[in-house]
Amino acid sequence: MRIAESAAIVTGGASGLGAATAAKLAELGADVYAVDLPSALDVLTDEQRADHRVTYIAADVTAEDEVQSVVDTSTRARPLRVIVNCAGIAPPAKILSRDGAHDLAQFRRVVSVNLTGTFTVVALGAEAIAQADPDQDGQRGVIINTASIAAFDGQEGQAAYAASKAAVVGMTLPAARDLARYGIRICTIAPGMVETPLLAGVSDAFKAGLTSGVQFPARMGKPSEFAQLAVSIIEHDYLNGETIRMDGGLRMAPR
């Protein structure tokens, strides 16, 4: 599917996977609307602020009215054809620890952001994409969600995160089936250990421990590689309803 001259929404677009994806889509000619929380937009780099190909919008993916406003804004100049959901949180907590049972409010918050927030953007975004004119093959758009390899082999302290990401994986195929009649494809990327700002301050020794199970190449992934994969999915018209691991062959240990 053609990226140029289309509108694209990228959630979690201020940093990490989202920022790399927003920049790549803009480079390829899309009008990009990068969505993130106000606190994330406050710390945008000078380079990001200078890139007028990307419009940054403060919004919470768990707020339906804010998501709808983003969708409405994105369709004013060009048809919305691309959505990449990168917004997510991963606070660690064991189901039972010395402090007691897992905080249930925290569990609900993780599910709200990672699952319900993703679904909200999918549903409201798909409604807008369905209004676009189809191309010669009947395609109107592509949606990409972000899960995690924790959906398959979550570690200790990742029960909430793994459950929310497994649900994103689980909704991929039925979503593809629901949206097929509108010419909308949907896939999910499940990244492994990726070099994001959250890990920028840790030691090389700590990073080595995180990547010890990576088969090849024996390093952390790069946000640019996530963006590259997202673009490949968008441009590959026969990819649909699939979850793709991007992890260098990593299978995570229990801890």
- Smallest CA-to-CA distance from 196 within 153, 232, 146 is with 146
- Both structure tokens of 229: 């994969």
CA dihedral over 118, 119, 122, 127, signed as positive or negative? negative
187: left (phi over 0), alpha (psi -120 to 50) or beta: beta
Cα separation values, 47 from 7, 51, 54, 201, 231, Å: 21, 6, 11, 21, 22
CA atoms of 123 and 102, how far apart (whole Å): 30
> Tokens 């009215």 — which residue?
65
Catalytic residue among 56, 161, 182, 238: 161
Whether 161 sits among the annotated catalytic residues: the reply is: yes
Q: Who's near 135: CB < 8 A, 6+ residues apart?
A: 1, 2
- Smallest CA-to-CA distance from 252 within 181, 148, 182 is with 148
CA atoms of 59 and 62, how far apart (whole Å): 9
- What are the catalytic residues? 161
